[in-house]
Amino acid sequence: MQNDTFEGNVDQQEIEKFSAMAEQWWDLEGDFKPLHLLNPTRLDYIEVGVEGLFGKKIVDVGCGGGILAESMALRGAEVTGIDMAHASLQIARLHALETASEMTLQKPNYEKTTAESFAQAHAGEFDVVTCMEMLEHVPNPASVIQACCDLVKPGGTVYFSTINKTWKAYLMMIVGAEHVLKWVPKGTHEYEKFIRPSQLLGAIDATQLKCDDLCGVEYSPFNNDFKITKNVDVNYMLKCTKVG
Ligand code: SAH
């Protein structure tokens, strides 16, 4: 394990929260059910945006139990997943063993580190960086955004997804998902940490990243899946390219 000098941008309570939920990562009806429902939609969005995942070198920042990382590896990408929750990484590694026989090229590699520390060691090495549903869990999202920019090659692609800071997001993500539907444990999200697209775009503008696309991701109760829409009121994704 490398000695991480960027632990200042880690909220230990968040890491403990995710560690305590780690055994649920691959339970399709468990605490991470929304991420499983969302995954096919974001995976396709990423694959189309980078014109194919096969052979792409990707780092998934805040990978958790590997839902996205593993699905990208299954489509032929060379994926490294990083996270600060050891228990989640262990689950990710175990699950990758189960699906190893279906891997087109190789199973993902998982490492316990922060985006900032990993970027110091691996600057400019990746074709694609994904950082999904993670920025709303760190003390300083701008520092993670800068690290994601550092990790990607010039001309490479970075994806972010997070939750908007609106009353609708409060109602759906906290009141609805945590208290009414009980889809995710109470306290999974904190309204104060939600991020407006304008804030995220401001932080992106301070780097060499240029935003190419901003889209909403909306739950459709009739189909029990997520669709890409123009409505960024609650969940949204961004696609960026590194200039230079
Ligand atoms: N990106 C995954 C998991 C999202 S949950 C997905 O969308 O499927 C948020 C994840 O971010 C958790 O696994 C948590 O442990 C991780 N995380 C939170 N703060 C972090 C930090 N500072 N560095 C790395 N990972 C972090």
Distance CA 134, CA 163 (A): 10
Instruction: Determine which helix (DSSP H) or strand (DSSP E) holds 117, and give its type and residue range.
Output: helix 115-122
Q: Is 133 in the pocket of ligand 1 (CB under 6 A)?
A: yes
Sheet holding 126-132, edge to edge: 109-112, 78-83, 57-61, 126-132, 152-163, 235-242, 209-220, 225-229
Distance CA 28, CA 156 (A): 32
Q: What is the CA radius of gyration of the chain?
A: 16
Residue 169 confidence (pLDDT): 95
Average of per-residue pLDDT across 16-26: 96
Q: Are strands 57-61 and 126-132 parallel, antiparallel or unpaired?
A: parallel
59: CB partners within 8 A, 6+ apart: 79, 80, 81, 82, 118, 122, 125, 126, 128, 129, 130, 151
What mean pLDDT is reported for the chain?
95
Confidence (pTM): 0.96
Instruction: Pick the more confident residue, 102 or 93.
Output: 93
Torsion of CA 147, 150, 156, 158, to 10 degrees: 10
One DSSP character per residue, 149-210 reads HHHEEEEEEEEEEEE--SHHHIIIIIIIIIIIS--S-TTS--GGG---HHHHHHHHHTTTEE
Please choose from 15, 42, 116, 140 the residue to mutate so as to test ligand 1's pocket, defined by most ligand atoms within 8 A of CB: 15
Q: Is 64 in the pocket of ligand 1 (CB under 6 A)?
A: yes
Q: What are the pLDDT digits (tens) for 119-131?
A: 999 999 999 999 9
Q: What are the pLDDT digits (tens) for 204-215?
A: 999 999 999 999
Q: Which atom of ligand 1 is nearest to the CA of 32?
A: 8
206: CB partners within 8 A, 6+ apart: 142, 146
Q: Is 63 in the pocket of ligand 1 (CB under 6 A)?
A: yes
